[in-house]
Chains A and B, each alone.
Chain A
Amino acid sequence: MTALPAANSGKKLGLVIDLDTCVGCHACAVNCKQWNSGGHMAPLTDTAPYGADAAGVWFNRIHSFEAGEGAAGRTVHFPRSCLHCETPACVTVCPTGASYKRAEDGIVLVNEATCIGCKLCSWACPYGAREFDDDSGTMKKCTLCIDRIYNTNLAEVDRVPACVSTCPANARHFGDLGDPNSAVSRLVRERGGYDLMPELDYKPVNKYLPPRSRPALPPAKPLAPAAIDTASALLRWVDRALSR
């Protein structure tokens, strides 16, 4: 049903991505691909996988940007996946009801059994989070690992999205952003987590934590400024009593 759920649980499951520690390793992207290749939306088809123009369905892609110049310049690695928006037009534009937002946790999904592959939702998503599978003729996307996060066949600790559990730099956090007391909500508050393209008013659930400003070390005492010659410098050490 493409109308957004009127009464929702208040639960807003999503990701918080820390651009301050993301090293751009693509682990989350590939692990996502791997998990989901056999998961809820399987397969994540690859066309011409060994050919000249290989292309495939990915739910998560890692960009690299440079921002600013000179000493203020930075390189920032930037993972991009579905933000599970609160008011996502990708859902409301869908003519078939295949696209939907779950009332119970806010996860945005596609029902592949009814998707006609009109691609309109991918036009409606500002973030490029929808992935058309040419082979199946259906739209696919990040499921927030719905087949992991509630999976009773998995140990409790493993009930997080694949991208989160694999990130070597601990740059991805998962939780309920609807709960102001959740760890992710606290992180967003403490670190100034922000929305992508807030001007479009899709109200993304996923948040990004900005690169931190560089820690200023306590003004270290300047080292001896005086120019001293080698001989007198050495003299300082002659009388030092040290014990082995």
Chain B
Amino acid sequence: MAFDFLAGPPEAVDTSPHISDEVKTTTCYMCACRCGIKVHLKDGQIRYIEGNRAHPVNKGVLCAKGSAGIMQHFSPARLSKPLKRVGPRGSGEFQEIEWPEAFAIATQWLSEIRARDPRRLAFFTGRDQSQALTGFWASQFGTPNFAAHGGFCSVNMAAGGIYTIGGSFWEFGEPDWEHARYLLMFGVAEDHDSNPIKTGLSKLKARGAKFVSVNPVRTGYSAVADEWLAIRPGTDGLLVLALVHELLKADRVDLDYLVRYTNAPWLVIAAPGAADDGLFARDGSGEPLCWDKATGRLASALVANVQPALAGEFQLADGRKAVPAFQLMAARYLDPAYAPDRVAEATGVAADAIRRIAAELAHVAFETPVVLDVAWVDWAGRRHDQMIGRPVSVHAMRGISAHSNGFHTCRALHLLQMLLGAIDVPGSFRYKPPFPRPIPPAPKPAGHAHQVEAGKPMAGPPLGFVTGPEDLLVEADGTPRRIDKAFSWEAPIAAHGLMHMVIANAHAGDPYPIDTLFMYMANMGWNSAMNVAGTLAMLTDRDPATGEYKIPHIIYSDAFFSETVPYADLVLPDTTYLERWDCISLLDRPISNADGPGDAIRQPVVAPDRDVRPFQDVLIELGHRLGLPAFSNADGTAKFPAGYADYLVGHERTPGVGSLAGWRGKDGTLYGKGAANPDQLQRYVANGCFWKHELAPEQRYFKHANRSYLDWAVGMGFIPDAKPIVLQLYSEVMQKFRLAADGHGPVQPPDDRRQHIRTYFDPLPFWYAPFEESRIDQARYPLHAITQRPMAMYHSWGSQNAWLRQIHGHNRLYVNAKLGAKLGLADDDWAEVTSHHGRIKVQVKLMEGVNADTVWTWNAVAKRSGAWNLDPEAAEARKGFLLNHLISELLPADAAGDRLLNADPVTGQAAWYDLRVRLEKVAPGDATSEPALPTLALVPGVAERPAMLRYGASFRRRREAGR
């Protein structure tokens, strides 16, 4: 009718627009999950990043962070030039310098150290995946003072697993998503297997399997769980051992599995007071013994077809007594102290629920086995027609590890799995190659006095696995040899080092002063610090005598203007993940899944538009300038002139083994081991930037005892020989430390540590109250305070992302609704949270789904005002808050004045989630969170932040113009 013409013609929708001129594959680095991505480039710009369907990790999906990669790449917080500090530390007064000058400064500082005492360099790295390079560089430099972030992250899970089952949770193992009928998940919000877990859970649920989440908080995964157990933080060990109690009491354990695959039948010497009490009885060749019921004699526990006793007391050749490890274990957990009724109150989980879950586990494991018609041959050459599995999977992460009892709790979890016969069988937890490995695996940490020499590489890697007190890196008097005191009596099995102690110890000159702190990709001035203000004070503290900083030099590589940048003396600006070569190596944290190993690379997708360089290139160049042998040719020229890309292809760790396992050999026909292949990177690029090997069906389960798998793993260089890996429910390594505490052996703890070591080096897992709560007045600090990873944010670095920061612009403290009512709190009220160490002011949100005695918040959303090139008034700074201000690296002194590390006594893992607090309502005041540290000044070289973001408008303009 009349006016219709005013509407104009109907819209002509272009339903098939041209999307990209070019698609480049690479690996996502919006977090450490390592998904494969396809980057669409249009008009020379990044148009779209999508998941690579062919990629084994994410199979085409992409998480929120990965989908926001464009905004990371264009962040206005990107650094653009090397910086030299000209004002005081923290002032943000820097001078932009050229790379040659940056290299000259670093080379000067480091070469002096190396010539004098390499230990005066502490090289600590954070979130990277280049530990194969950085660790190697450190040992080339000659310093044992190297670690990555694992010590404050989840070394409890790594060590707990590696010392027990030769593999671990974290991202090194996974539930059998295809076959599990029951999944018991402890303390996981996100994990590093971010996308695979989500995909796996949906598969599991689609099959109607039962998913139980044990977690004080009901969000994320716990929200979709079929059953949620609102456990009180730090008590999982008790809960798990109560399940163990129930299973043992009812004799619902997989004795066959225990006998075949674990050290349950190994005989433990019972000779109280003797130097070998509690160790395994061994034969002349050192093989552990069992009691063979078939012959009625002692026999090697490692041979096939013996009929070992699991209970009873047996006489050794020397007349002493020994009992099977199983009996020690069973006797301990049958104790009524572990009965559900006894643990219900402490754990906050009802006794009935514990009993029911135990019954369900037994039912699923023993009445509904998964049977795969896949024949396989075990380590002893026996053929089995089928693979029969107990379809109970367990997964756990930082809810367990970030407690001072995490190591033992992790061991308790593995014990539960062993009793159910549910490790690497169909339906259970599965190892991802290169795991399983011998228990413990081979490399020991280097750094003994004889291994550290001025001007020389160190004979061995800085990190490794100790097998007993003799392997500790301590002086004769017990003084730690490493700056972070890893592998000392304070943290004997600190397999990942103690990054959280570096700054405190370097500042205190304890055990000795250092000269240069060299850090990479770790926001130690903010969210990865305990005691943030204290850490900043240590970084800026000067020696009153000399006026020099107590930590004389700080070199830092970051890609962005993080809170830590202003505290460095020399800033080495890195590229973004789309601008460099990277390697996700089997030597580090690969992309394997349980069906086979894999590794991946990143390739530069776009060229940097700033004067920045990939840190790995910088490190290699620095190595050459310092004359580190592995980075220079005999004639003094650089060994890897093209930097990391050269190194990835050319460097061999051991003959035939390099950073990348795919397409090895001159012509690229080999994998795993083989000569370097100059075309290797091209082959990776052509394959989507990853390499994946699929194990044959008969190799996919029972990897710890599967002949075909073990032989293959030897060929890959994963394990030294094809011996079966016997799971260690009883840990002899632990007992060795206990014996040292009891006065045996050449290396013994200082007297004031003996009782401590004796207690915590129990060869069987046990539960004890987390340290903090045993050192504070629980009535004054009645609540637990924990954090969770938000799925759409990666630590501190998501907040510079224009899209992600809209999702988590600030955080609130979540409080149980009933508790809130008791405290007179309503949504958005302000409250003060006080710990033994500090106080913060926060905004609260009440919720139902949280343990009654627990408060929690999203991790690392808060930003320091001014940092990340955000408006100083940004919500992250105004209303965001960190719990880190409340957490101290040391616990309150006990009666004797001893200040324990706020860490696990075995591994040194930082105990973030032991935090205890009190909560009080306060007036809103100016409605901002506290403490508000002074605004950071902008560092030079960051871009102007736009007032309006119209990303993508140009694509449309050009598209429409072209039509």
Partner-B contacts on A (CB < 8 A): 1, 20-27, 29-31, 33-40, 42-56, 58, 64, 66, 69, 73-77, 96-98, 100, 109, 111, 113-114, 135, 146-147, 149-154, 157, 162, 165-171, 211-212, 214-215, 217-218, 220-224, 228, 230, 233-238, 240-244
Given A30-B64, A238-B309, residue A243 in contact with residue B259 (CB < 8 A): yes
Given A46-B806, A166-B51, A221-B359, residue A52 in contact with residue B871 (CB < 8 A): yes
Residue of A nearest to B361 (CB): A220
Expressed in whole angstroms, the Cα–Cα distance for A167 and B226 within the complex equals 21
Residues of A within 8 A of B327 (CB): 234, 237
Expressed in whole angstroms, the Cα–Cα distance for A56 and B209 within the complex equals 40
* Cβ proximity bits B539-551 to A, threshold 8 Å, 1 near / 0 not: 0000000000000
Residue of B nearest to A2 (CB): B7
Expressed in whole angstroms, the Cα–Cα distance for A238 and B312 within the complex equals 6
Which among B68, B195, B362 is the interface contact of A30 at CB below 8 angstroms? B68
Expressed in whole angstroms, the Cα–Cα distance for A74 and B228 within the complex equals 9
Q: Are B326 and A242 in contact (CB under 8 A)?
A: no
Q: Are A168 and B11 in contact (CB under 8 A)?
A: no
Expressed in whole angstroms, the Cα–Cα distance for A36 and B956 within the complex equals 10
Interface centre among B223, B312, B875 (most CB of A within 10 A): B223
Which among B199, B250, B874 is the interface contact of A50 at CB below 8 angstroms? B874
Expressed in whole angstroms, the Cα–Cα distance for A227 and B802 within the complex equals 61
Q: Write the nearest CB–CB distance from A73 to chain B, whole angstroms.
A: 5
Expressed in whole angstroms, the Cα–Cα distance for A113 and B945 within the complex equals 30
Given A23-B791, A152-B16, A217-B363, residue A168 in contact with residue B199 (CB < 8 A): yes
Residues of B within 8 A of A37 (CB): 70, 951-952
Q: Write the nearest CB–CB distance from B963 to chain A, whole angstroms.
A: 13
Residue of A nearest to B310 (CB): A237
The 10 nearest A-B residue pairs measured at CB: A97-B7, A37-B952, A220-B363, A223-B250, A224-B250, A168-B198, A49-B802, A38-B952, A42-B956, A111-B11
Q: A27-B61, A69-B848 are in contact. List 9 more A-B contacts (CB 8 A).
A: A24-B219, A26-B64, A37-B951, A51-B871, A51-B947, A147-B17, A153-B18, A168-B198, A169-B201
Interface centre among B7, B248, B878 (most CB of A within 10 A): B7
* Cβ proximity bits B449-481 to A, threshold 8 Å, 1 near / 0 not: 000000000000000000000000000000000
Q: Are B309 and A228 in contact (CB under 8 A)?
A: no
Residue of B nearest to A150 (CB): B15
Q: Are A223 and B247 in contact (CB under 8 A)?
A: yes
Q: Are B50 and A223 in contact (CB under 8 A)?
A: no
Residues of B within 8 A of A170 (CB): 199, 202-203, 206
Q: Are A236 and B251 in contact (CB under 8 A)?
A: yes
Residues of B within 8 A of A21 (CB): 201-202, 205-206, 224
Q: Are A113 and B14 in contact (CB under 8 A)?
A: no
Expressed in whole angstroms, the Cα–Cα distance for A214 and B212 within the complex equals 11
Q: Are B949 and A30 in contact (CB under 8 A)?
A: no
Interface centre among B358, B804, B871, B949 (most CB of A within 10 A): B949
Residue of A nearest to B802 (CB): A49
Q: Are B260 and A244 in contact (CB under 8 A)?
A: yes
Residues of A within 8 A of B870 (CB): 50-51
Residues of A within 8 A of B947 (CB): 47-48, 51
**Of residues 236 to 284 in B, which have CB atoms within 8 Å of A's CB atoms?**
246-252, 255-256, 259-260, 265
Which among A34, A40, A147, A212 is the interface contact of B49 at CB below 8 angstroms? A34
Residues of B within 8 A of A241 (CB): 293, 307
Residue of A nearest to B261 (CB): A244
23 CB contacts below 8 A, A to B, read A21-B224, A30-B803, A38-B47, A38-B956, A39-B956, A42-B952, A49-B945, A49-B946, A55-B806, A56-B806, A66-B849, A100-B10, A111-B8, A111-B10, A113-B11, A114-B11, A147-B17, A169-B202, A212-B205, A218-B363, A221-B363, A243-B259, A244-B308
Q: Are A23 and B363 in contact (CB under 8 A)?
A: no
Residue of B nearest to A97 (CB): B7
Q: Are B61 and A167 in contact (CB under 8 A)?
A: yes
Q: How many residues of B sit at the interface, in one of the four size bands?
A: 35 or more
Residue of B nearest to A229 (CB): B334
Residues of B within 8 A of A230 (CB): 330-331, 334-335
Q: Are B210 and A217 in contact (CB under 8 A)?
A: yes
Q: Are B224 and A220 in contact (CB under 8 A)?
A: no
Residues of A within 8 A of B847 (CB): 66
Residues of A within 8 A of B360 (CB): 217, 220
Which among B67, B208, B250, B307 is the interface contact of A31 at CB below 8 angstroms? B67
Residue of B nearest to A170 (CB): B202
Given A147-B15, A223-B355, residue A46 in contact with residue B873 (CB < 8 A): no
Residues of B within 8 A of A150 (CB): 15-16
Question: Quick check: is B948 within 8 A (CB to CB) of the other chain?
Answer: yes
Q: Are B198 and A23 in contact (CB under 8 A)?
A: yes
Residues of B within 8 A of A42 (CB): 952-953, 955-956
Q: Write the nearest CB–CB distance from A118 to chain B, whole angstroms.
A: 14
Question: Quick check: is B911 within 8 A (CB to CB) of the other chain?
Answer: no
- Which of B298-306, B413-421, B502-510 contacts the other chain? B298-306
Q: Write the nearest CB–CB distance from A186 to chain B, whole angstroms.
A: 14
Interface centre among A66, A168, A218 (most CB of B within 10 A): A168
Residues of A within 8 A of B17 (CB): 39-40, 147, 151, 153
Residue of A nearest to B260 (CB): A244
Residue of B nearest to A37 (CB): B952
Q: Are A215 and B208 in contact (CB under 8 A)?
A: yes
Residues of A within 8 A of B951 (CB): 37-38, 43, 46
Expressed in whole angstroms, the Cα–Cα distance for A111 and B260 within the complex equals 70
Q: Are A168 and B61 in contact (CB under 8 A)?
A: yes
Residues of B within 8 A of A74 (CB): 218, 223, 849
Q: Are A25 and B802 in contact (CB under 8 A)?
A: no
**Of residues 178 to 237 in B, which have CB atoms within 8 Å of A's CB atoms?**
194-195, 198-199, 201-203, 205-206, 208-210, 218-224, 226-227
Residue of A nearest to B204 (CB): A21
Interface centre among B247, B359, B367 (most CB of A within 10 A): B359
Expressed in whole angstroms, the Cα–Cα distance for A151 and B15 within the complex equals 6
Expressed in whole angstroms, the Cα–Cα distance for A25 and B790 within the complex equals 8
Interface centre among A31, A74, A96, A162 (most CB of B within 10 A): A31
Residue of B nearest to A223 (CB): B250
Q: Are A242 and B205 in contact (CB under 8 A)?
A: no
Q: Write the nearest CB–CB distance from A129 to chain B, whole angstroms.
A: 18
Question: Quick check: is B63 within 8 A (CB to CB) of the other chain?
Answer: yes
Residues of B within 8 A of A48 (CB): 871, 947-948
Q: Write the nearest CB–CB distance from A15 to chain B, whole angstroms.
A: 16
Q: Are B62 and A135 in contact (CB under 8 A)?
A: no
Given A38-B956, A97-B8, A166-B67, residue A23 in contact with residue B265 (CB < 8 A): no
Q: Are B10 and A1 in contact (CB under 8 A)?
A: yes
Given A167-B61, A168-B199, A169-B198, residue A30 in contact with residue B792 (CB < 8 A): yes
Question: Quick check: is B653 within 8 A (CB to CB) of the other chain?
Answer: no
Q: Write the nearest CB–CB distance from A109 to chain B, whole angstroms.
A: 7
Q: Write the nearest CB–CB distance from A231 to chain B, whole angstroms.
A: 9
Q: Are A166 and B61 in contact (CB under 8 A)?
A: yes
Q: Are A243 and B871 in contact (CB under 8 A)?
A: no
Which among A25, A50, A73, A75 is the interface contact of B869 at CB below 8 angstroms? A50
Question: Quick check: is B837 within 8 A (CB to CB) of the other chain?
Answer: no
**Of residues 311 to 340 in B, which have CB atoms within 8 Å of A's CB atoms?**
311-312, 326-327, 330-331, 334-335
Expressed in whole angstroms, the Cα–Cα distance for A238 and B945 within the complex equals 74
Residue of B nearest to A235 (CB): B311
Residues of B within 8 A of A29 (CB): 64, 807
Residue of B nearest to A25 (CB): B791
Residue of B nearest to A225 (CB): B250
Question: Quick check: is B60 within 8 A (CB to CB) of the other chain?
Answer: yes
Q: Are B63 and A35 in contact (CB under 8 A)?
A: no
Given A25-B792, A170-B202, A223-B362, residue A76 in contact with residue B223 (CB < 8 A): yes
Interface centre among A35, A147, A243 (most CB of B within 10 A): A243
* Cβ proximity bits B790-827 to A, threshold 8 Å, 1 near / 0 not: 01100000001011111101000000000000000000
Q: Are A35 and B48 in contact (CB under 8 A)?
A: yes
Question: Quick check: is B356 within 8 A (CB to CB) of the other chain?
Answer: yes
Question: Quick check: is B42 within 8 A (CB to CB) of the other chain?
Answer: yes
